[in-house]
Structure 1
């Protein structure tokens, strides 16, 4: 067998480790050393930045998107920081803890979450289709794609679209989906190409927003924004729990559905992901991808290696994802608050993707209009890139792992399923984009993400409690997962009530 780095992998140690039901037992092998996986002599800070950080960047590229550029600025622009900011902070903290617990399973077994959930009773025939259904229902509507098209239209036309031009916006969103397809087709290793794309896009977004916001926003507004993030307060009058739930669901990433992007820890080669393989691009050399994971024996050497991998996971999640998500939310919301105060205008669901560019362009000139449109397009395209690819990746991983017939048809090469299926998903999203305005679609997706928090934290408790002893969570980790259930679940219940009755269950 060939590992994720392309090097031969030693034969598995004798023995198997069963987790849950309905899936074959995991093979048992030694954890690799990080230096072996990343092909370095020593793993210092420079090497961590250069080689280890990556999966969190893909998640951050999605994160600094629908929530940070659309829902967060819209909420702050309409209601202010007080009573809204603390929801952002709590959501980001809970989601980062949740990400670590999802990734714990991936690093310890090499199995991606959609496959691991198949081990939870009553088994794969329920949990794999159900997990895919929830994931697709949350994201297939394409609000993130339509939002990117809206920004691109304004960038090309030099103005926001008019009511009769929405179809052009949707066509541009579809065109950007084709760009994602080309990026994956031309990649040697798909995960690595996504990492590099997000290094460029997220880096440019944060630098430009930081410079612009520092240059034009008074210190008092910055202080209000920072204070709003850390000060508990009652939600502002007039906001509904559904609006707050959309903000909570898409702050950081996608609340209970964050698992859908953690597959990249396997493809990066973290821990036992190195023993399992990855999905290569068409230009890359085929990697043998196991359909069943591998875990490690409980001994002193593997316990020591696990601690190293877990520390690297914490760095990737807390130093990159959490910090980046908070900065990514603070900058656009502070900027939006200043714009609303100086212009006297408020964003709406129809114009929020281009509102910042339009208002700053009117005050500072055409160059600022185009600069902020570029930022908006980069933000929403990075979201589009991550979500679209993840929809295809999760279905491919689930099918490859659970269907011997499909594995025979594709001759063990998941690329033969991945790329044709990507074109199918593209066609479905193209149709779904016609259902509503971009921001309305994003609001629905965000609240559907909260549904995942009612379910998947308990699946993780089941799976992670059965890992090798060194990898099992501590008791307080389970408490954090229950808090995810309570916090995001509250918002989902309100969303469902409003959806069916037309009135808010909780209004402040």
Structure 2
């Protein structure tokens, strides 16, 4: 590590950042140069973990359900705008991490009134939004059907929940057996996301008429009022869980630190049980404001843009288009519409009479992969947020875990597994997903402004351009509207009806 020369004040309540030179991408990824091969093999990665969550509850459940019931026009533009705004937002979340080596969870503690308020509040909002576990319960429904060769009946819902709990245990085992947790998640998502996109493209080309493809694409770019009958909760959930989790996307961006992007390389990472202990810095590190480091920052920023726009955005759009056009064709073939109860297995059941048992099992397998990749990212992300937050707020906690985050990470993961296993018994899976998605929109009322505060105080080379602030305000307006409408709908009458 470059010798620390001085400190850099940023915000309130937390110590000044140390100052050291940015590493080169070649130093971090241990290659001679970053070409196309090195880009794919080493630099791309955090976006795949985010994409594993992205191609999930919104894309496999909420989007197809909305399109299956109401068609593409009036729904598709919500998907496109949500994906665009969320990708911009993700870049701003990652900007802070690359420039300081601190995760956003820890960075919120630098925003007035300080760490004792914002760090616990941020962690609570994320936990509250996702602990409902609809993403886990939906995966359990798909796995039950895959194992038993049929959709679960009303009296068998408890069995689907046991399958969901079993998949949570699988996530724990992946994290426990890894040397470096982020890398294990990357490799898992390379396999799952790659298989999902390739299989869906092939199946859609075989099954879906070009007229339906065109309707899906046209729906993305046609401005139109939402279709009559769609509820504020449905549309808000679709907006919130298109791409990822709207205002709460920051909870997954810490993988840029663990990957070693920018100053994240100086800060450390969370190792698996098989990995060697490595202390995470309790206070971040930023870079001096000179020409050499400004040039290195531009290189890191270009890598971030490739990872986010070339992988995450493109994958998120494909991840929404492919399942929704398939759902539209499934509705046309079956003459029925998906419901909250049957949407996780609707496509498989609808295609079975026309294309046979093999297609039924293939679609169930895709559903399980889609929802398990979501489960993997969300469950691990919840644990990661609190693992970063607790030591940042409490020096005593840092001493208690002897500066090894694994001493907190794995016990908390077991605690969270037990809690989610209980909560998924409370409602139908898709109803739980709709709740989580709308709670994600709550984050858009808060965190874009906190990012403006933090990012505007970074070293000059890392600060956003003025139009980036405009886009953060648009995140606030777009997703915030849906959250306010959801709250009004929940307690009485929505502000806007369609």
Into which bin does the TM-score normalised by the smaller protein fall? over 0.9
- Preserved contact between residue 240 and residue 506 of structure 1 (Cα < 8 Å): no
Give the structure 2 partner of residue 116 of structure 1: 107
- Preserved contact between residue 185 and residue 281 of structure 1 (Cα < 8 Å): yes
Give the structure 2 partner of residue 11 of structure 1: 3
Give the structure 1 partner of residue 324 of structure 2: 333
Q: Does 1:168 align with 2:152?
A: no
Q: Does 1:461 align with 2:445?
A: no
CA distance in 1, matches of 2:105, 2:213: 40
- Residue 365 of structure 1 aligns to a residue whose secondary structure is helix
Q: Does 1:60 align with 2:51?
A: yes
- Preserved contact between residue 291 and residue 402 of structure 1 (Cα < 8 Å): no
Q: 1:347 aligns with which of 335, 338, 345?
A: 338
CA distance in 1, matches of 2:482, 2:182: 32
- Preserved contact between residue 240 and residue 438 of structure 2 (Cα < 8 Å): yes
- Preserved contact between residue 333 and residue 350 of structure 2 (Cα < 8 Å): no
Task: Give how far 1:288 is off.
Answer: 2.0
Q: 2:495 aligns with which of 478, 481, 505?
A: 505
CA distance in 2, matches of 1:294, 1:355: 50
Give the structure 2 partner of residue 392 of structure 1: 383
Give the structure 1 partner of residue 296 of structure 2: 305
Post-superposition CA distance 1:74-102 (Å, at most 9, x none):
00000000000000000000000000000
Task: Give how far 1:433 is off.
Answer: 0.4
Task: Give how far 1:262 is off.
Answer: 0.0
Bigger mean CA deviation after superposition, 236-245 or 346-355 = 236-245
Q: 1:76 aligns with which of 67, 90, 108?
A: 67
Give the structure 1 partner of residue 285 of structure 2: 294
Task: Give how far 1:223 is off.
Answer: 0.5
- Residue 303 of structure 1 aligns to a residue whose secondary structure is helix
Task: Give how far 1:402 is off.
Answer: 2.1
CA distance in 1, matches of 2:353, 2:110: 56
CA distance in 2, matches of 1:126, 1:315: 35
Post-superposition CA distance 1:401-420 (Å, at most 9, x none):
22211111111110011001
Q: Does 1:245 align with 2:265?
A: no
Q: Taking structure 1 as the reference length, what is the TM-score of the superposition?
A: 0.97
Q: 1:369 aligns with which of 350, 360, 363?
A: 360
CA distance in 1, matches of 2:195, 2:232: 33
Where does the alignment leave 5 or more consecutive residues of structure 2 unmatched?
A: none
- Residue 111 of structure 1 aligns to a residue whose secondary structure is coil
Give the structure 2 partner of residue 182 of structure 1: 173
Once superposed, what is the RMSD of the aligned Cα atoms? 0.7
Aligned positions of 1:248-259 closer than 5 A: 248-259=239-250
Give the structure 2 partner of residue 276 of structure 1: 267
Give the structure 1 partner of residue 123 of structure 2: 132
- Preserved contact between residue 232 and residue 489 of structure 2 (Cα < 8 Å): no
Give the structure 1 partner of residue 486 of structure 2: 495
CA distance in 2, matches of 1:165, 1:392: 30
- Preserved contact between residue 221 and residue 337 of structure 1 (Cα < 8 Å): yes
CA distance in 2, matches of 1:333, 1:297: 48
Q: Does 1:405 align with 2:396?
A: yes
Runs (4+) off by over 4 Å? none
- Residue 292 of structure 1 aligns to a residue whose secondary structure is coil
- Residue 414 of structure 2 aligns to a residue whose secondary structure is helix
Give the structure 2 partner of residue 91 of structure 1: 82
Task: Give how far 1:11 is off.
Answer: 2.3
Q: Taking structure 2 as the reference length, what is the TM-score of the superposition?
A: 0.99
Q: Does 1:285 align with 2:314?
A: no
CA distance in 2, matches of 1:149, 1:62: 16
- Preserved contact between residue 153 and residue 161 of structure 1 (Cα < 8 Å): yes
- Preserved contact between residue 242 and residue 504 of structure 1 (Cα < 8 Å): no
CA distance in 1, matches of 2:158, 2:147: 15
Task: Give how far 1:504 is off.
Answer: 3.0
CA distance in 2, matches of 1:199, 1:246: 27
CA distance in 2, matches of 1:481, 1:354: 36
Q: Does 1:103 align with 2:94?
A: yes
- Preserved contact between residue 93 and residue 322 of structure 1 (Cα < 8 Å): yes
Give the structure 2 partner of residue 20 of structure 1: 11
Post-superposition CA distance 1:49-82 (Å, at most 9, x none):
1100000000000000000000000000000000
Where does the alignment leave 5 or more consecutive residues of structure 1 unmatched?
A: 1-8
Task: Give how far 1:497 is off.
Answer: 0.6
Q: 2:372 aligns with which of 360, 371, 381?
A: 381
Give the structure 2 partner of residue 39 of structure 1: 30
Task: Give how far 1:495 is off.
Answer: 0.5
